[in-house]
Amino acid sequence: MRLPLITLAFAVGATTVPAAQIESIDQLDATDAQVFLLGEVHDNPAHHQNQAEAVAAIAPTALVFEMLTAEQADIANGLDRTDVNDMAEALDWAHGGWPDFTYYHPIFTAAPNAPIYGAAVPREDLSDAVREGAAAVFGSDAEQFALGPLPTDTLEERKAFQMEAHCNALPEDMLGGMVEAQRLRDAWFSKVALQALDETGGPVVVITGNGHARKDRGMPVALASAAPDVTVVSLGQFESPFEDPPEAVPHDVWLVTEPAEREDPCAVFQKG
164 is a domain residue:
no
Q: What is the pLDDT of residue 17?
A: 57
Residue 129 lies in a domain: no
Contacts of 249 (CB under 8 A, 6+ apart): 19, 21, 236
Residues recorded for the chain: 272
Are the C-beta atoms of 108 and 72 separated by less than 8 Å? no
Contact 243, 46 (CB under 8 A): no
Give the domain range for residue 86: 20-122+192-270
Phi, psi of 266 (to 5 degrees): -90, -10
Is 243 within the bounds of a domain?
Answer: yes
Q: How many structural domains compose the chain?
A: 1
pLDDT per position as a tens digit, 43-83: 999 999 999 999 999 999 999 999 999 999 999 999 999 99
Question: Which residues does the chain have with pLDDT short of 50?
Answer: 1-16
CA–CA separation, 23 and 53 (whole Å): 14
Residue 34 lies in a domain: yes
pLDDT at 8 (0 to 100): 38
CA 67/CA 76 separation, integer angstroms: 12
Confidence (pLDDT) at 4:
31
Q: How far, in Å, are 40, 121, 148 from residue 96 at the CA level? A: 17, 13, 30
Q: What is the pLDDT of residue 243?
A: 87
The pTM assigned to this predicted structure is: 0.92
pLDDT digits (tens, 9 = 90+) for 203-217: 999 999 999 999 999
- Does 240 fall in a domain? yes
Q: Residue 37: beta bridge partners? A: 206, 234
Q: How many degrees, rounded to 5, is the angle at CA 44 between CA 48 and CA 76?
A: 40
Beta strand pairing call for 35-38 and 232-239: parallel
Question: Residue 231: which CATH number?
Answer: 3.40.50.11550
What are the angstrom distances between the C-alpha of 198 and each of 95, 127, 184, 195? 31, 29, 21, 5
pLDDT at residue 2 in the model: 29
| CA atoms of 217 and 146, how far apart (whole Å) | 10
Asked whether residue 11 is domain-assigned, the answer is no
